Amino acid sequence: MNDLSNAINVLSSGMRSQGRRLVHIAENISNADTPGYRRKTVDFQAMVDGGRRSGAVEVGPVRLDRSDLPRIHDPDHPMADEGGYYDGSNVQLVVELADAREAQRSYEANLKMFEQVRRMSSQLMDVLRR
Amino acid sequence: MDLQPILAGMGGMPAPSTKTNPMADAAQGFADVLREAEMQAEAALTTGADPHALVTAMAEGKMAIETVVSIRDRVVEAYQEILRMPV
């Protein structure tokens, strides 16, 4: 296909990847109070199509944040040990919100480019109509 | 929607049985793009498939239709020019 429709495919892969990233951010925020939950992160990587990089992007495998879980003091908690502590989750809401906002901005950037490609394509066809 | 016979007829070409006909190939490509857009629309509405694929397919379909409509208008215009020619 032509360059413009390739651009649309690449941009669509970018938006899909940001959506996937947002899913993991949502999981992290939902599980912010789950004891023992480790925050999930995903890396972006260039999509390889038939041994060659196609220019599109995809998300890599999910990684778990290996940082230490916070020890929370709550003797009434059913999972508390003898000292009254249990492992919380290492999700930090501020970090997740910042990540979510970044995903949104990147999504918007892809969407703007999408609009631009469409506009360029219809402008090209307008030349033919004159 | 199958515009292939129309397009093939537009160019004054025989039906696209010959695979080497560039006009027929272009029409085939156009029909494929439209079919893909239709399939994606159906999948998105019935099974809740990826909306990005739907938007991509629709955008490509729109681009293809704009191209074909522009070319068709040009061809019809040229035909009318010939009709108006004083003999």
Tell me what pLDDT residue B3 has.
56
Would the pLDDT of B59 be above 80?
yes
SS3 B3: coil
Question: Roughly how many angstroms between the first and final C-alpha of chain A, as a whole number?
Answer: 25
Complex prediction ipTM: 0.71
| Cβ-proximal residues to B49 (8 Å cutoff; 6+ apart), any chain | B40, B43
- Residue B55, CA distances (Å) to A9, A22, A58 in order: 10, 19, 18
Give the residue on B whose Cα is nearest the Cα of A119.
B63
Would the pLDDT of B20 be above 80?
no
**What is the mean predicted confidence (pLDDT) over B26-44?**
88
Tell me what pLDDT residue A52 has.
86
Query: Contacts of residue B52 in chain A, CB cutoff 8 Å?
Result: 12, 15-16, 19
Structure tokens at A109: 């950037």
Tell me what pLDDT residue A10 has.
92
Q: Which of residues 56-115 of A touch B (CB under 8 A)?
A: 114
Report the residue of B36, B66, B75, B76 to disrupt the A interface, i.e. the one with the largest count of A CBs within 10 Å.
Answer: B66
Query: Contacts of residue B66 in chain A, CB cutoff 8 Å?
Result: 121-122, 125
In whole angstroms, what is the distance from residue A41 CA to residue A65 CA?
7
Specify whether the CB–CB gap between A70 and A52 falls below 8 A: no
Specify whether the CB–CB gap between A114 and A6 falls below 8 A: no
Q: Which of A73-101 are b and which e, b meaning 16 or more Cβ less than 10 Å from the residue's Cβ? A: eeeeeeeeeeeebbbbbbbeeeebeebbe
What is the number of helices (H) and of strands (E) in chain B? 3, 0
- Return the number of other C-beta atoms located less than 10 Å from residue B31's C-beta: 17
* Contact across the interface for B56 and A4, Cβ inside 8 Å: no
In whole angstroms, what is the distance from residue A86 CA to residue A75 CA?
9
Block mean pLDDT (10 aa), chain A, length 130: 84 93 94 91 90 88 90 86 88 94 95 93 84
Structure tokens at A89: 């989750």
B65-79 confidence digits (pLDDT tens): 888 899 899 999 999
In whole angstroms, what is the distance from residue A4 CA to residue A19 CA?
23
Tell me what pLDDT residue B4 has.
58
Specify whether the CB–CB gap between B68 and B11 falls below 8 A: no
Pick A26 or B26 by higher pLDDT.
A26
- Beta-bridged to residue B32, according to DSSP, are none
Specify whether the CB–CB gap between A93 and A32 falls below 8 A: yes
User: Which residue bears the tokens 């390739």?
Assistant: A6
